[in-house]
């Protein structure tokens, strides 16, 4: 199977959005192609992320999305690899591996110190792939998040 990984182009946005919608459903979000299309379009047009796509003979079969950020401790730029998805019928064909290797090459080319990612504790398949490529599970730090609520008046004071 011949798979090419490359930076996304404007013409890739609709197919990437469809894959992004499936990615969100994998993480138990309701299907919403319009939301997916809007989100991917905004990230790409505003150059807020790096979007790499995997293309096979039948079209796009996967993608990954990198967000530029910084590590304050190292005082260096890094990428957060937030999204990685391979179409269900293309899994176990090496597409995820190709995307991760392309992301690493891109990060090195851009002078990033490292890449970070998170995955569901139950996603053992992805964890095996990451570890096979030298990714190291963080056993020191815990990750927290908190939903932000808009003020009742809708205005920030």
- Asked whether residue 145 is assigned to any structural domain, the reply reads no
- H helices of 32-94, where? 33-45
- Asked whether residue 35 is assigned to any structural domain, the reply reads yes
pLDDT at 156 over 90: no
Residue 117 lies in domain: 4-132
Whether the CA torsion 15, 19, 20, 24 is positive or negative: it is positive
- Asked whether residue 148 is assigned to any structural domain, the reply reads no
Residue 5 contacts residue 52 (beta carbons within 8 Å): yes
142 band by pLDDT with thresholds 50, 70 and 90:
confident
Q: What is the dihedral of CA 142, 79, 134, 117, to 10 degrees?
A: 40
Closest by alpha carbon to 96, among 110, 109, 107, 83? 83
- Asked whether residue 139 is assigned to any structural domain, the reply reads no
pLDDT confidence of residue 116: 96
CATH of residue 123: 3.40.630.30
Question: For 8-23, how does the pLDDT look when each residue is reduced to its tens digit (9 = 90+)?
Answer: 999 999 999 999 999 9
Number of domains in the chain: 1
- Asked whether residue 53 is assigned to any structural domain, the reply reads yes
- Asked whether residue 98 is assigned to any structural domain, the reply reads yes
- Asked whether residue 14 is assigned to any structural domain, the reply reads yes
Residue 76 CB-half CA count within 13 A: 11
- Asked whether residue 85 is assigned to any structural domain, the reply reads yes
Tell the burial category of 53 from Cβ atoms under 10 Å away from its Cβ (0-12, 13-18, 19+): buried
Residue 106 contacts residue 52 (beta carbons within 8 Å): yes
Which residues, at least 6 apart from 123, have a Cβ–Cβ distance to it below 8 Å? none
pLDDT mean over 144-156: 80
pLDDT confidence of residue 154: 61
Residue 103 contacts residue 79 (beta carbons within 8 Å): yes
57 band by pLDDT with thresholds 50, 70 and 90:
very high
The C-alpha atoms of residue 1 and residue 12 are separated, in whole angstroms, by 20
Question: For 81-90, how does the pLDDT look when each residue is reduced to its tens digit (9 = 90+)?
Answer: 999 999 999 9
Question: For 120-129, how does the pLDDT look when each residue is reduced to its tens digit (9 = 90+)?
Answer: 899 999 999 9
């Amino acid at each position: 199977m011949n798979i090419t990984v490359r930076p996304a182009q404007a013409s890739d946005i609709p197919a990437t959005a469809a894959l992004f919608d499936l990615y969100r459903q994998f993480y138990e979000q309701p299907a919403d192609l319009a939301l997916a299309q809007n989100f991917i379009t905004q990230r790409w047009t505003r150059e807020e992320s790096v979007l790499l796509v995997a293309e096979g003979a039948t079209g796009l079969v996967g993608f990954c999305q990198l967000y530029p950020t910084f590590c304050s401790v190292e005082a260096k730029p890094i990428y957060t690899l937030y999204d990685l998805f391979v179409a269900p019928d293309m899994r176990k064909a090496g597409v995820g591996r190709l995307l991760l290797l392309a992301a690493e090459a891109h990060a090195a080319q851009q002078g990033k110190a490292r890449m970070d990612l998170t995955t569901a504790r139950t996603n053992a398949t992805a964890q095996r792939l990451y570890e096979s490529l030298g990714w190291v599970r963080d056993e020191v730090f815990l990750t927290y998040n908190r939903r932000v609520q808009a003020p009742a008046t809708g205005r920030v004071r």
